[in-house]
Amino acid sequence: MKRFAVGLMVTPEYNEWWSKRVNDNIPRLKEEDVRPIKEYLQVVPFKIEIIKKEFEKRNLELGRKIEQLEEEKYN
């Protein structure tokens, strides 16, 4: 028995789905949906580091106020 196949009899929707299919129907990612690797590798500071920076900033502000008050005291 001979078989004769003219062409694939598939709908355009099926053809589109099949072209996106990879590894048991896991869709491929589109390039616009992919984030750069730098976004994945961003370093997130620890809470203690954030608190330390805020403390240092506040400490500088208070130091300036103390200097200002001492100048006013001498004047």
What is the per-residue pLDDT across 14-73, written as a single tens digit (0 to 9) for each? 777 777 766 655 666 666 667 777 777 777 788 999 999 999 999 999 999 999 999 988
Among the residues of 1-75, which ranges form H helices? Answer: 12-20, 37-40, 47-74
The first and second tokens of residue 34, run together, are 């992919």
Does pTM top 0.85 for this prediction? no
Which residues is 22 bridged to in the sheet? 26
From residue 63, alpha-carbon distances to 22, 31, 56, 69, 71 in Å are 62, 51, 10, 10, 12
